[in-house]
Amino acid sequence: MRIFSALYERTMTWAAHRHAPWYLGGLSFAESSFFPIPPDVMLAPMSLARTDRAWWYATLTTVASVVGGLFGYLIGMLAIDAVLPLLVDAGYGSRYDQAIAWFAEWGVWVVFIAGFSPIPYKLFTISAGASAMALLPFTIASLVGRGARFFMVAGLMRWGGAPMEKLLRTYIDRLGWLVVFLGVVYVLIAH
């Protein structure tokens, strides 16, 4: 079945849309404080569709993500009692507790690692605010961690360019089904 190639074509069309940078900025902001989908899903195809603008897209994603992270920090600082039940209901309760424990042990380094890794960054922005982490180190660690991640994604797309796009177009269905398979295996092993 060629489900993923159709999605890929649609994504590449959306990535070239004139309003795509606004959507990328909005997604980057939202993901850092409350939304579950990471901005990489837009950043990568946009950088691939317009390699000449890849660095601009990475900058936009980084800045919007850090501002969203500051909003997440504010949520944690001002509204953790109201938000915590929502986190628990969404299945993030134990992860939130782990984030708080990591802050106690590692401090600002956790923000840097969470900013770069695929760990849900919003948990760390909210828990940083809830644990009253110093704002300046939080912001710097967010900027460095998120920037490193997004510039790496944009750089890989820029470096790969047309040959990578052609390769993806050829193997997207196989890659898509592989990701689905690995996701199912992960769910079965984790539970």
Residue 178 has pLDDT above 80, yes or no: no
Nearest partner of 65 among 120, 26, 23, 99, judged by Cα: 26
User: With contact defined as beta carbons under 8 Å apart, do 116 and 35 qualify?
Assistant: no
Please state the rounded mean pLDDT for residues 103-113: 87
Q: What is the pLDDT of residue 64?
A: 97
Mean pLDDT computed over 59-70:
97
- CB contact burial 144-178 (16+ within 10 A = b; e otherwise): bbbbebbbebbeebbebeeebbeebeeebbeebee
Average pLDDT over residues 55-63: 97
Q: Can you give the pLDDT at residue 191?
A: 60
Position 1 pLDDT exceeds 70: no
pLDDT score at 190 = 63
The stretches of the chain forming alpha helices (DSSP H) are: 3-15, 20-31, 40-49, 54-89, 93-106, 109-116, 121-130, 135-190
- In this structure, what are the phi and psi dihedrals at residue 90, rounded to the nearest 5 degrees? -80, 0
Tokens of 35: 């939304």
Q: Report the chain's mean pLDDT, rounded to a whole number.
A: 86
Confidence band for 138, pLDDT divided at 50, 70 and 90: very high
- pTM as predicted: 0.80
User: Which residue has better confidence, 128 or 189?
Assistant: 128
Q: Please write the tens of the pLDDT for every residue from 19-41.
A: 889 989 998 999 998 887 788 88
